[in-house]
Structure 1
Amino acid sequence: MALAFTSAVPQVVSISPAARSIPANTLRLYVTFDHPARGVVSTRDLRLLDDAGRTIDGAFMDFGQDLWSPDGRRLTVLFDPGRVKRGVEGDGESAAPLQVGHSFTVEVSGKRFHYQVTPAVRTAINPQTWRLALPKAESRDALTVTFDREMDDALLRDQLEVEDARGRLQAGQTTTSSSGRVWSWRPKHGWRTGDYRLIVGNSLEDVSGNRVGEALDHEVGSPDAARESVTVPFTVKRHRE
């Protein structure tokens, strides 16, 4: 009887951002593998290629120790902030590894992911610009939030929560779109008529490292934004209300 062997080499299952177009000042990438890859794959195994297929040297930060999730399946890779953030290392616009209007490719473990580069996003996140699609009472329909920019997927899954008018956190399931612009949350139990709040954690960032009330490129010497959660109120109504 023939025996079937499974390769122990970790395979890439996704990379985030997953959108086809990302800002020139994108700060980080997440590479997820099908099983633990810590000690097998490292940041040094990633290559950034320009639209002519040439390797862009020094694009990623090398800390000497890779940034892995606790389960060893997700590798966080940072673009060198000195080449992304203005005023850190020369002219951030010209030094940035991602140039507006060009395409680039990330190569890792034999797979390639292609992107188009759009203008940098250098403004703070403003929840007032978010569009909420509200569910109806007595349903388990999803609350859907659409953003004005690509959000950091890992933080998006961790930094948004829903609570009721009495401040009780609600149990539910979160999903995000591949574009990084849509977050959906479906409650474990049906919605009740009444007021709710979307809780926005103080660590939420877009793919460029901007936070609520604070752009990554804020003026040198200016005070940091208050590290407090903000809330977005919404009301769930019956069908006929």
Structure 2
Amino acid sequence: MIALAAAAVIVFESTTNNPALPQVVVRSAPEQGQLTLHLRAPGKLGPPIFADIRRSHGKLILTPRFNLSRGKTYRAILSIPDRPQVVADYTVPRREGLKSPEIVAIWPTTKTVPANLLKFYLHFSKPMREGREIFDQIHIVESNGKRVHSPWRRQELWSEDARRLTLWIHPGRIKQGVNLRERFGPVLMPGHSYKLVLDPSIRCADGLPLGKSHMHEFRAVSEDKQKPLPQAWTLEAPATNSREPLQIKFHEPIDRAMVERHFDLHAPNGNRIQFTAETRSGDAVSLLTPKSPWVSGNHILKVSQYFEDLAGNTRLRIFDRDLTKPSGTKGEATRYFAPVPR
């Protein structure tokens, strides 16, 4: 784990009691030296891994941004102009008792989606390793086995706990008249069947892979060019003095994450009601369950103007339109309901 060449020394140091996240330290590092870290495989080296590099008190320090994979060997390389490279290898100790990550859910759950679907949500059983390579590990595959070319907007959008990835289909493949769509065509075609395929190599923060591929089958139908209008939804009121859910029928599959983010409930006294949300019937029905029993009187459901359907449409505008020219009244939409005595 230590290599010498002239005065330069490479050392792997663990500073967090986590051997999967060591610092690579070059002592007496020359100013022009460049340090990289690579996964070492039989007969070849992988590309440089994502890492932060800094200089401090004559040392060059590389810190991986994510945990290294348990049981794998990595090679640090110090490149110095007109001098031999300095190398050092490090094998990450295996850690017994850790479970591989699993796919918990994929949203939308409906098996029928509009051809202009904007995004998927992937839920994992444990915090996952971040890094843009994940976009090369998730594919949309047509029924004939052909992969759809470059479908993703390659921007990582992880939840705070790194258990949920929001996976955007590239908007340039959705919007009419945009170069990407003109060149490669839309990602999804109406009437076609697809599989969302996750590679077994996707790793969690502990460095463990899924270990097996995961497939989510769905079918694309005609594009959704309609605004989601809260006034058209059907609300079924719960019983007073109960924690029965408020049932909302959207008459189309909706984005469940948007319900959690852009819906608010208010009691007759104006206080906000805490609730949990779930969807059923292929994401076309949402159930809002309060943390405390309903009281009598008129309640308010408030829907943010930023609430989107599966195609990214809001009540102000269609996604495939000029976003600088919204149509409709800005602000929250409101619906009233009153729990019923039973």
TM-score normalised per structure 1:
0.87
* d(CA) in 2 for partners of 1:10, 1:57: 27
1:91 to partner: Cα distance: 5.9
Structure 2 residue ranges without an equivalent (≥5): 1-94, 200-212
What code does the residue aligned with 2:109 have?
A
Q: Aligned residue for 1:51?
A: 143
8 Å CA contact 2:317–2:326 kept in 1: the answer is: no
1:142 to partner: Cα distance: 1.2
- CA gap of 1:6–1:182, structure 2 versus 1, over 3 A, is farther
* d(CA) in 2 for partners of 1:48, 1:173: 31
1:29 to partner: Cα distance: 0.8
Of 168, 191, 194, 1:101 maps to 191
Q: Aligned residue for 2:220?
A: 117
What code does the residue aligned with 1:131 have?
T
Superposed CA deviations along residues 3-48 of structure 1, whole A, max 9, x for unmatched, are x944554222211111111110000111111101123772221011
% identical equivalent positions: 26
Q: Aligned residue for 1:137?
A: 240
What code does the residue aligned with 2:157 have?
L
- CA gap of 1:193–1:222, structure 2 versus 1, over 3 A, is same
8 Å CA contact 2:118–2:311 kept in 1: the answer is: yes
Q: Aligned residue for 2:107?
A: 16
- CA gap of 1:90–1:106, structure 2 versus 1, over 3 A, is closer
**Is structure 2 residue 265 aligned with structure 1 residue 159?**
no
Question: Which is higher, the Rg of structure 1 or of structure 2?
Answer: 2
Of 166, 176, 188, 1:86 maps to 176
1:87 to partner: Cα distance: 3.0
1:125 to partner: Cα distance: 1.0
Q: Aligned residue for 2:130?
A: 39
- CA gap of 1:157–1:220, structure 2 versus 1, over 3 A, is closer
- Tell me the SS of whatever aligns to 1:155: helix
* d(CA) in 2 for partners of 1:90, 1:59: 10
Q: Aligned residue for 1:73?
A: 163
Of 201, 207, 210, 2:310 maps to 207
- Tell me the SS of whatever aligns to 1:101: coil
* d(CA) in 2 for partners of 1:231, 1:129: 12
- Tell me the SS of whatever aligns to 1:145: strand
8 Å CA contact 1:103–1:116 kept in 2: the answer is: yes
CA RMSD of aligned residues (A): 2.3
TM-score normalised per structure 2:
0.63
Q: Aligned residue for 1:30?
A: 121
* d(CA) in 2 for partners of 1:223, 1:235: 32
* d(CA) in 2 for partners of 1:22, 1:186: 26
Superposed CA deviations along residues 52-103 of structure 1, whole A, max 9, x for unmatched, are 011111111224xx221111111111111111122333767x9211111110
What code does the residue aligned with 1:62 have?
R
Bigger share in strand: 2
- Tell me the SS of whatever aligns to 1:42: helix
Superposed CA deviations along residues 130-186 of structure 1, whole A, max 9, x for unmatched, are 111111222222110011222112111221121023321112332222622111112
1:123 to partner: Cα distance: 1.4
Aligned pairs, how many? Answer: 233
